[in-house]
Structure 1
Amino acid sequence: MGGARTLLSGLTGIAIWSILVAWGGKSAGDVGIDDPATETAAAVPGAAPSATAAPTIENRNVRKVHPELFAAPFAEMSVGLERIEARPPLTPPKEKPEPEKVVLLPRPLSIEAGFIGFGARSLKLADIVPTDRMRTCRSSSGEDWPCGMLARTQQRQLLRGRAITCETDLATWEGTITARCKIGGIDISEWLAAAGWAEAPEGSPLAELTAKARAEGKGLFGDNRH
């Protein structure tokens, strides 16, 4: 009788224990103790909701997409755009200077200081008066010397038959033209006036060079030794 009672008590305890275990597992599943993802999401504030969460749809305007329509994001255009004139530049554009018209003239021949020949054509150097090759000058000792011939020789030595560049748009011409010319970067008119081998008339931009050459006794204004 005592053994039967002990067996019944044991079976009753096992049944109660089984019920408690089953109830405990259900409770643990409800709170997500065994779910690592749930535990992580609960532990990190501001974590992203699970994939099963329904997305939140904001109620706002959406920009229209059309090739002829432009608008700021999320703004709906109710009227068309108006084209206005462009603002003038703050700094006016610089005018490009017209390129200089320069002609290369080969084989120059010194006819006189300030006067150059090219076959049947001739060219007078601008801003100076050519020195007559037959001109004579008087030295400080009172002797005459052929300053015109020496002036031509000085120009000839400067040119030495090299091509010169002249500011003109006439590659070919007939007769005589007037132009400013250079050789190796040297303005021939300025060189002659500064050296005193040709005179610049009053009003010429080179008149000061002639005045200085005269004061210093250079070229035509000095002795033949200069």
Structure 2
Amino acid sequence: MLPHRTTAGGHALRLALAVLLSLGLVAPVPAQMGKADIRGQAPQAIDSGLLDFGGKPVYLYGLRGARPDQSCTMRSGQTWPCGREARWAARNRIANHWVECVERARGPGGEVFALCYLGGVGGPELNAWLVEQGWALAARDYAQDYAAAEDAARAAGRGLWRGQQP
């Protein structure tokens, strides 16, 4: 299984969000409220599940990104820097694009979890693309939005799934 976050508290953050959502103590925000809460030209991709808009971190809702230092094993037994490739894929996808994100939930410490779109709300959804291409996993513990996309990426051997399971 893929580690959940590059920061030490990332796993606890995702677990807390899942528990709070399930208990109804944190209400998810409607998927598209018609306006973007966070926007900017080509934010920095910290990993394939976390963007930085000039010091404002935004976690991509519904998925788990690969850590930049993560390694995966090819079917041949050789390791490859899949975390760096996942981060590169995210950076390449958002390069030269205006990105707008719509908040879906907040973590217990105020962390923003959002759906992000290239070229504005209504454009291609970054979250879905990352999972569809195999560069992130569905966060099935708190959202089922991308479970089918992850299954398809795994079956097709895309991204992190091109070798043995990450």
Structure 2 partner of 1:147? 82
1:158 matched to 2:93: yes
Q: Deviations over 1:164-183 (max 9, x none)?
A: 111139xxxx9731110100
Q: Identity, % of aligned pairs?
A: 30
Return the offset for 1:122: 0.4
- Describe the SS at the equivalent of 1:204: coil
Structure 2 partner of 1:135? 70
Larger Rg: 1
Contact 2:33-2:102 at 8 Å conserved across structures? no
Contact 1:127-1:201 at 8 Å conserved across structures? yes
Paired letter, 1:213: A
Contact 1:168-1:179 at 8 Å conserved across structures? yes
Contact 2:45-2:91 at 8 Å conserved across structures? yes
Q: Output the aligned Cα RMSD.
A: 2.2
C-alpha separation in 1, matches of 2:130 and 2:76: 24
C-alpha separation in 2, matches of 1:99 and 1:138: 41
Contact 1:121-1:175 at 8 Å conserved across structures? no
C-alpha separation in 1, matches of 2:58 and 2:33: 22
- Describe the SS at the equivalent of 1:111: strand
In structure 2, relative to structure 1, the CA distance for the partners of 1:210 and 1:99 (3 Å cut) is: closer
Which of these residues, 46, 50, 71, is aligned with residue 111 of structure 1? 46
Note the residue ranges of structure 2 that are not aligned, 5 or more in a row: 1-31
Paired letter, 2:91: R
- Describe the SS at the equivalent of 1:199: strand
Which of these residues, 108, 117, 135, is aligned with residue 197 of structure 1? 135
Q: Which of structures 1 and 2 has the larger relative contact order (alpha carbons within 8 angstroms, sep 6+)?
A: 2
Question: Which structure 1 residue ranges, 4+ long, deviate > 4 Å from structure 2?
Answer: none
Which of these residues, 142, 146, 149, is aligned with residue 209 of structure 1? 149
1:180 matched to 2:127: no
Where do residues 1-226 of structure 1 align in structure 2 (5 Å cutoff)? Answer: 99-103=33-37, 105-107=39-41, 108-168=43-103, 176-184=111-119, 185-202=123-140, 203-223=143-163
Normalising by structure 1, we get a TM-score of: 0.50
* Greater percentage in strand: 2
Note the residue ranges of structure 1 that are not aligned, 5 or more in a row: 1-97
Normalising by structure 2, we get a TM-score of: 0.67
Return the offset for 1:161: 4.3
Return the offset for 1:162: 2.5
Contact 1:124-1:130 at 8 Å conserved across structures? no
Paired letter, 1:155: A
Contact 2:38-2:101 at 8 Å conserved across structures? yes
Paired letter, 1:214: R
C-alpha separation in 2, matches of 1:121 and 1:176: 9
